[in-house]
Amino acid sequence: MKRNAPSIIETKRDFGTEEQCLTYLEKMRWPEGVRCVKCNHDKVSKFTVKESKRTKKYISKVTGQEKERKIRSRTLYQCLKPECGHQFSATANTIFTDSHLPLSTWFQAIALMCNAKKGISALQMQRDLGVSYRTAWYLNHRIRKSMEDGGPGLLTGVVEADETYIGGAYDKRRKRGPYDKQPVFGAIQRKQGENTSKVRSFPIPTNSKTVLTAAVKNTISPKADLFITDEGRGYISLGKTYRHETVNHIKLEYVRKGDPRSIHTNSIENFWSLFNRGIVSSFHKVSIKHLRRYLDEFTFRFNNRKAQDLFALVVMNLVIGTALRYAELTANPEPPSEPSGDERPHFDLPLI
């Protein structure tokens, strides 16, 4: 079976040393040859700094305390442009620059997360990598950030939409939306020719008509060939903007019989089934605060399941992306309020 990410054995074989990891990063960042990260000059020299008994002081991003570490052997480059002369490494200006973890540990963690269809918990990552729980938890979230949904633009073609609910206790008095659960909106663009189906998903503050209408308009193009949902009241008015069809789950209608357009929401429900199984089996429960990143992880793996090299895609995202600071990760965001009137909420960041 063709894999789009290396197995843990292949990862240890191909990325077991820092030299192997740095060589891979160099080829990823500069496929046409190393260039200076400061002036972009294409003439550089390469040299190795040997390990020293001296130590280097640094401020821990986790505890905020000053610590010391040994100066390890490493490969550096120096720009040969006379007015520059800048020295840098393959990890310069990347998320790996200030990390105390060796690149081999990073690469093993990336491979584990790419191959975990139902996700991998911090406890399991701790056991697999032999690091502390806090390190594994922080590492997982930094990799998830590299998987965040930049958005393929508005979905087109035949699109299905549905919500799911995460956490909380069930209240049988409510017909839709279990009590005290976090609603999450999702939409899937069905396969078009050679292009695989694509999912967009994000938390929403409520399942009200105002919020669902805004979520749909921010996700699905009005020019979509067909827009399919269940008969939830939040979607009723969308027939004015979209070619909207519904299935009536209350009457046990899951596929519209006799309609050649395949009117159903089974595709998006299959994605929710995968996500919910991952939450229950791998994580058991997730914080509402971090829910968006878990959604991004599952969405990224799903949307890139046919990619030739998912591992390389994540590594490159980590190279060019912005770092997730520990203080940012552990900060307490203000809970959102539901928009009023015609105000359309923004879904670029977690809403709750």
**Ranges of CATH 3.30.420 domains, the chain:** 158-285
pLDDT value for 344? 33
Dihedral-angle region of residue 280 (phi above 0 means left; psi in -120 to 50 means alpha; beta otherwise): alpha
Asked if residue 206 lies in contact with residue 351, where contact means CB atoms within 8 angstroms, the answer is: no
pLDDT value for 169? 57
pLDDT value for 227? 93
How large is the average pLDDT for residues 206-212?
91
pLDDT value for 337? 39
Distance of CA 225 to the CA centre of its chain: 28
Q: What separation in angstroms does the CA of 335 have from each of 64, 186, 206, 351?
A: 27, 21, 12, 7
pLDDT value for 346? 38
Report domain 158-285's class: alpha beta
Residues in a beta bridge with 255: 264
Q: pLDDT > 90: what percent of the chain?
A: 54
pLDDT value for 347? 38
Asked if residue 200 lies in contact with residue 163, where contact means CB atoms within 8 angstroms, the answer is: no
CA distance 347 to 344: 10
Asked if residue 227 lies in contact with residue 246, where contact means CB atoms within 8 angstroms, the answer is: no
Torsion angle, alpha carbons of 178, 179, 184, 186, to 10? 20
Q: pLDDT > 70: what percent of the chain?
A: 82
Q: Where are the beta strands (DSSP E) in the chain?
A: 44-49, 55-59, 66-70, 74-79, 87-88, 158-166, 182-189, 198-203, 226-230, 244-247
Q: Mind listing the pLDDT tens digit for each residue in 46-95?
A: 888 776 555 666 566 555 666 666 556 678 899 999 999 999 989 988 88
Collapsing DSSP to helix, strand or coil, 288 comes out as helix
CA distance 280 to 269: 16
Collapsing DSSP to helix, strand or coil, 139 comes out as helix
pLDDT value for 231? 87
Per-residue confidence band for 149, with pLDDT thresholds at 50, 70 and 90: confident
Question: To the nearest whole number, what is the mean pLDDT of the chain?
Answer: 84
Q: Mind listing the pLDDT tens digit for each residue in 94-141?
A: 889 878 899 999 999 999 999 999 999 999 999 999 999 999 999 999
* Residue 67, C-beta contacts closer than 8 angstroms, at least 6 positions apart: 57, 58, 59, 60
How large is the average pLDDT for residues 137-160?
89
pLDDT value for 145? 93
CA distance 87 to 289: 40
CA distance 164 to 272: 7
Q: How many CA atoms lie within 13 A of 206 on its CB side?
A: 11
- Which of residues 335 and 226 earns the better pLDDT score? 226
Query: Does 10 have pLDDT greater than 90?
Result: yes
Burial of 288 (0-12, 13-18, 19+ CB in 10 A): middle
Whole-angstrom Cα Rg for the chain: 24
Distance of CA 239 to the CA centre of its chain: 32
How large is the average pLDDT for residues 304-315?
92
Per-residue confidence band for 23, with pLDDT thresholds at 50, 70 and 90: very high
Query: Does 153 have pLDDT greater than 60?
Result: yes
Q: Which two tokens stand for residue 338?
A: 């539901």
* Residue 225, C-beta contacts closer than 8 angstroms, at least 6 positions apart: 156, 157, 158, 243
